[in-house]
């Protein structure tokens, strides 16, 4: 009897918790006026607030940063760190003489510890990476009872001898579960004192050890790529968002809830804080807001109806409209960056679809790795950024996802105090991508969630053009076009060596703000795929799926406060 390969998703439960936790976190952060950021994946005006005061500002003896309105607008290029006295006046009014200016020096993070005061601990980071693999294996073996989890030293050696291959797991497993798994590895290192770049090798280590030793399935090169690259992307975003929850100065139940919340969001970090005891210790918080509450976490929820055409065009008698909820999260203030570290700015969009094949239908993110200032004036800023991309789109009509690195030109043109125009253009390399195909072996296995692949793996290049008009912090016009060429590295049936896909997505959105937090919008988009097969027995394929959305928007906090 031969057993068919299939894989379960041991991280699915945790992923669901993360998704549930997302809006709460954003609310906690975004509700703070003065922590402005960009609306709906757009970019902030130059006169927006760079960063706000800490939530616990004013705690005696605690370093804090004054709100930008009182510091940055007064002309300081860099925020100053001030310490209020241990016994402040009873009326709470502090004079200049009461405040000790620690200058910029205290903001210099020691070479030996990170902004949270955590020293590098490679042993614990490695142990937690291995431990997370063991935990996933135990879930596979004892809870899901999959047929790929009977690992032992023989299977480890066997897999290493066999080397890498390509696997046949579901699109969702490869392009969502594995990146989430990678984020746990990443944060096992990130929470142990390592920065973004230093955490990458640990992510790769976790991915490799899972592939060789976490399951009996042969090692998959696609898993290794998606876990490592996607893990770093999601991992750093989870790290930043968990930093907006944690508070080393908090005590009692507030502290407990913050630790639990951050741990759900970021299991690697939560575990580290538990093991090292930092979850229970009172201390100081990072002095730089970018390491703590962020320089603006901005969250908009879109909710309404969407209709996806199963054919070439929308047919209102055949296609049904269903509810959707979308979260647009923007972290950081791209055009007013005080520093230049990876993911000081990122955007994250997640969409929940009702009555689609899966509820979670879309996750897309972009995080800047490095920015180059091309020039700025009172009314215009221009940037060149190197960015990391994450794409996961999985709905009834199509599947598209991957890990990319791109080069973006960005321009922010302030036309009036209420209106600005944001333009971006990029080219990006999709290092590990996936796209649905027709020529695949569908194999629905009763009782088994996995089935043979119905998508191709590939690499290629793409370009993304965006034009946005923003009024009162709300996108009133959004023209969006993206094209990707994906050369199949491993495809079904024919191996894929002679297959190319051209994927295009075009979007037009028109909206209008209602007050400071609400808005309405309509969006039309079309997905196009042209697949070219050199093998004569396969006809070229053209897929076209239009989509229409009508929705309301609600922004946590006030858009005009930014």
Partner 1 sequence: MNRTQACSLRRTTLSFVPLVLILLAAGPLTAQQGIGFESSFGYQSLSGEYGDVLKGGVDAEFAVVWTRTRFRYGIGIDWASYHAEAPFEGESWSNIVSYFGVTFFPWPETRLRPFIQLRAEGRRLRPEGDHLTDEEPPEEGENTSDIRVFGMAAGAVAGVEIGMTRRSWLRLAGYLGDINTDEAELGDIDLGTVDSGRVYGFRVGLFWIP
Q: Enumerate binding residues for partner 1 (CB under 8 A).
A: 1-5, 121, 123-124, 127, 130-131, 134, 138, 141-142, 147-148, 150-155, 158, 162, 215-218, 275-276
Shortest Å distance, C-beta 20 to partner 1: 27
- With respect to partner 1, which residue has the nearer C-beta, 151 or 264? 151
3 state DSSP class of 45: coil
- With respect to partner 1, which residue has the nearer C-beta, 206 or 361? 206
Shortest Å distance, C-beta 142 to partner 1: 8
3 state DSSP class of 425: strand
Shortest Å distance, C-beta 73 to partner 1: 45
Alpha helices in 244-372 (DSSP H): 252-265, 267-276
Alpha helices in 163-251 (DSSP H): 171-172, 178-190, 196-213, 221-225, 231-243
Shortest Å distance, C-beta 231 to partner 1: 22
Cα–Cα dist 212/414, whole Å: 53
Shortest Å distance, C-beta 5 to partner 1: 5
Shortest Å distance, C-beta 136 to partner 1: 12
For CA atoms 244, 249, 253, 254, give the dihedral sign: negative
379-418: b (≥16 Cβ within 10 Å) or e: ebbbbebebbbbbbbbbebbbbbbbbebebebbbebeeee
Burial of residue 152, with CB atoms counted within 10 A of its CB: 0-12 exposed, 13-18 middle, 19 or more buried = exposed
- With respect to partner 1, which residue has the nearer C-beta, 67 or 267? 267
Shortest Å distance, C-beta 212 to partner 1: 12
For CA atoms 279, 283, 287, 289, give the dihedral sign: positive
Q: Which residue from 372, 431, 373, 383 is spatially nearest to 405, judged by alpha carbons?
A: 431
- With respect to partner 1, which residue has the nearer C-beta, 215 or 480? 215
- With respect to partner 1, which residue has the nearer C-beta, 155 or 244? 155
- With respect to partner 1, which residue has the nearer C-beta, 272 or 499? 272
Asked if residues 196 and 341 have their Cβ atoms less than 8 Å apart, the reply is: yes
Tokens representing 488? 């199949």
- With respect to partner 1, which residue has the nearer C-beta, 147 or 247? 147
DSSP string, 494-521: TBTTTEEEEEEEEEEEEEEEETTTEEEE
């Amino acid at each position: 009897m031969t057993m068919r390969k299939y894989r379960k998703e041991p991280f699915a439960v945790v992923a669901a918790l993360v998704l549930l936790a997302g809006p709460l976190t954003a609310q906690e952060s975004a509700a703070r006026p003065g922590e402005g950021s960009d609306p709906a994946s757009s970019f902030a005006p130059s006169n927006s607030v760079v960063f706000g005061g800490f939530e616990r500002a004013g705690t005696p003896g605690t370093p804090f940063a004054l709100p930008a309105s009182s510091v940055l607008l007064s002309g300081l290029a860099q925020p100053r760190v001030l310490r209020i006295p241990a016994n402040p006046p009873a009326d709470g009014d502090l004079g200049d003489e009461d405040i000790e200016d620690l200058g910029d020096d205290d903001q210099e993070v020691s070479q030996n510890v990170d902004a949270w005061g955590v020293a590098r601990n490679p042993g614990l980071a490695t142990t937690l990476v291995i431990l997370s693999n063991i935990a996933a294996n135990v879930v596979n073996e004892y809870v899901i009872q999959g047929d790929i989890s009977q690992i032992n030293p023989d299977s480890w050696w066997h897999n290493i001898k066999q080397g890498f291959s390509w696997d046949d797991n579901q699109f969702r497993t490869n392009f969502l579960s594995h990146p989430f798994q990678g984020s746990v590895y990443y944060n096992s290192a990130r929470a142990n004192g390592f920065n973004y770049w230093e955490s990458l090798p640990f992510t790769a280590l976790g991915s490799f050890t899972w592939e060789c030793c976490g399951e009996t399935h042969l090692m998959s090169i696609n898993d290794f790529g998606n876990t490592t690259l996607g893990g770093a992307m999601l991992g750093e975003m989870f790290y930043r968002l968990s930093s907006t929850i944690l508070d080393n100065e908090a005590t009692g139940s507030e502290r407990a809830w913050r630790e639990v919340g951050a741990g759900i969001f970021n299991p690697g970090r939560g575990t580290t804080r538990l093991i090292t005891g930092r979850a229970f210790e009172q201390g100081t918080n990072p002095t730089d807001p970018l390491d703590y509450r962020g320089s603006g976490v901005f969250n908009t929820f879109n909710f309404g109806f969407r209709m996806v055409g199963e054919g070439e065009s929308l047919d209102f008698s055949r296609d049904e409209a269903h509810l959707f909820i979308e979260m647009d999260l923007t972290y950081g203030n791209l055009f007013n960056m005080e520093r230049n570290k990876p993911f000081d700015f990122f955007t994250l969009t997640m969409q929940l679809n009702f009555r689609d094949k899966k509820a979670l239908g879309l996750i897309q993110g972009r995080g800047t790795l490095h920015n180059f200032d091309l020039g700025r004036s009172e009314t215009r800023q221009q940037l060149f950024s190197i960015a990391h991309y994450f794409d996961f789109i999985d709905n009834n009509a199509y599947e598209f996802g991957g890990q990319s690195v791109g080069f973006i030109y960005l321009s922010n043109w302030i036309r009036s105090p209420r209106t600005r125009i944001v333009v971006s253009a990029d080219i990006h390399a999709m290092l590990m991508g996936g796209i649905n195909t027709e020529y695949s072996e569908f194999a629905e296995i009763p009782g088994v969630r996995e089935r043979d692949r119905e998508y191709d793996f590939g690499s290629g290049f793409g370009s993304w053009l965006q034009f946005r008009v923003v009024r009162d912090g709300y996108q009133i016009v959004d023209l969006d076009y993206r094209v990707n060429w994906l050369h199949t590295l491993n495809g079904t049936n024919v191996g894929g060596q002679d297959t190319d896909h051209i994927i295009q997505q075009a979007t037009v959105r028109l909206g209008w703000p209602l007050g400071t937090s609400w808005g309405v919008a309509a969006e039309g988009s079309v997905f196009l795929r042209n697949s070219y097969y050199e093998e004569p027995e396969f006809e070229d394929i053209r897929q076209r799926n239009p989509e229409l959305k009508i929705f309301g928007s609600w922004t946590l906090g006030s858009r005009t406060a930014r």
